[in-house]
Structure 1
Amino acid sequence: MKKGQQTRERIIAQAAPVFNAYGYEGATMSQLMEATGLEKGGIYRHFSSKEELAMESFKFAWNAVLKARLRGLDEVPTALGKLRHIIDNFIEVRAPVSGGCPLLNTATDCDDGNPALRELAKKTLQSWQQRLMGIVEDGIRSAEIASTTSPKITANILISTLEGGVMITRLERSLDALHDARTALYAHLETIAAKPGRHSKS
């Protein structure tokens, strides 16, 4: 890897916690300079704008968080087990980038002010939905999950419940809401499990 690319990636990694904590508008150039150890010109030598740096930082933060959420998933043999594992990772695995969930933060921060970041967050959400939907679909095919289950609804329930739990946790400074979210989601997964003798798609 060329030195310029190494510097660019280092800037992204160091800027990601700043944008994740303060948002696009809230993150100041002085904060970015302090985090990267570079002057403004040094940063913009590698990025055309603050928006480009923010978008690359979001991608970096999300990829790191997604990797943590999926840790050990390949070792889980069942679809329902995989969904429980993701829930557990979401709650128990420390976020690798400080500032909370980058998807929730970015979606909230750029709802009205930055169309490019909003579109990036939307595509990231859709990718996350598709990944969860794929697990549900695998469970339906293996007759582990009831054939009447909607993969899209299940994915949305998981995402919205967990992200809502994060919001409450941040306000209350307590993990109670996330633990309640896990209890509720575990109960929901029991309701979509295929029952013995019930017809399911093969």
Structure 2
Amino acid sequence: MFTKAEKTKQFILETAIPLYNVKGIAGVSIDDVLNATKLTKGCLYGHFQSKEDLSEQVIDLALKKTVDKIHLAVAGGKTAKAKVFAFLDFYKDPIQTYVPGGCPIFNTATEVDDNHPVMKEKVAAVIKAGQQEMTKLLEEGIQNGEFSNKLNPPVLAFKLVAAVEGGLIMCRIMDTVKPMHALIKSLKSELEQYIS
């Protein structure tokens, strides 16, 4: 059971996620967060030491929620192929993403690359873990006979993730979902070439 203070802090973090995802760390001001939460500056600073502390905790939660949603989508698959397809389908609508502004992993990665070494490490850890999980899933598909051993799991895992994340940002900029649908269809067809 959350205390009142914990509920307030969670409310601040949850409310700030879309702000950070749309405007970025540098673009969000404390006033933006105060306006969205309707809280006072004193209340906000009662929960966070600084804007940097708030930013780190918001990004941590955004990354965790994103990873949790991907895991939930993938867990619905009964086979390795179904799980990979579920991962790809998670990205099928680059315009209406579950958090406004696109994928928090990609958005944060591009912003923190040169400016926020601590957050860069956090995003890198999420991306590396995602790559490892996808690689492991493809390896399991080979081991259980779903996929041919001609499939190179680390290479294909990188390609799948890089393609959907890149496709996501390109489709958002062009304001269309059609290329993403074609990309996902193409990636699925590529994977199906390895079906034993």
In structure 1, runs of 5+ residues without a counterpart are: 195-202
DSSP 3-state at the match of 2:92: helix
Q: Tell me the CA shift for residue 9 of structure 1.
A: 1.0
Identity %: 28
Q: Tell me the residue number matched to 2:145.
A: 143
Q: Which moved more, 1:93-102 or 1:18-27?
A: 93-102
Q: Tell me the residue number matched to 2:136.
A: 134
Contact 2:21–2:100 (Cα < 8 Å) also in 1: yes
Q: Tell me the residue number matched to 1:124.
A: 126
Give runs of aligned pairs for residues 98-177 of structure 1, distance below 5 A: 98-177=100-179
Under a length normalisation based on structure 1, what TM-score does the superposition of the two structures give?
0.88
Q: Tell me the residue number matched to 2:15.
A: 14
Q: Tell me the residue number matched to 2:29.
A: 28
Q: Tell me the CA shift for residue 116 of structure 1.
A: 1.1
In structure 2, runs of 5+ residues without a counterpart are: none
DSSP 3-state at the match of 2:31: helix
Contact 2:91–2:168 (Cα < 8 Å) also in 1: no
Alignment RMSD, CA only? Answer: 1.8
Distance 1:75 1:112, change over 3 A: closer
Distance 1:118 1:75, change over 3 A: closer
Q: Tell me the CA shift for residue 92 of structure 1.
A: 4.6
- The superposition leaves residues 158-199 of structure 1 with CA deviations (integer Å, 9 ceiling, x where unpaired) of 1111011111111110002211211221122023323xxxxx
Contact 2:25–2:111 (Cα < 8 Å) also in 1: yes
Q: Tell me the CA shift for residue 98 of structure 1.
A: 1.5
Contact 1:18–1:27 (Cα < 8 Å) also in 2: yes
Q: Tell me the CA shift for residue 66 of structure 1.
A: 3.0
- The superposition leaves residues 145-170 of structure 1 with CA deviations (integer Å, 9 ceiling, x where unpaired) of 12232222121111111011111111
Q: What is the number of equivalent residue pairs in this alignment?
A: 194
Paired letter, 1:27: V
- The superposition leaves residues 58-97 of structure 1 with CA deviations (integer Å, 9 ceiling, x where unpaired) of 2322333333334453342211111012211221595332
> Partners in 1 of 2:170 and 2:136 — Cα distance?
28
Q: Tell me the residue number matched to 1:91.
A: 92
> Partners in 1 of 2:135 and 2:21 — Cα distance?
27
> Partners in 1 of 2:105 and 2:74 — Cα distance?
21
Q: Which moved more, 1:10-19 or 1:41-50?
A: 41-50
Runs of 4+ in 1 over 4 A off after TM superposition: none
> Partners in 1 of 2:22 and 2:73 — Cα distance?
27
Contact 1:12–1:56 (Cα < 8 Å) also in 2: yes
> Partners in 2 of 1:171 and 1:63 — Cα distance?
25
2:28 is the counterpart of 1:3: no
Distance 1:29 1:76, change over 3 A: same
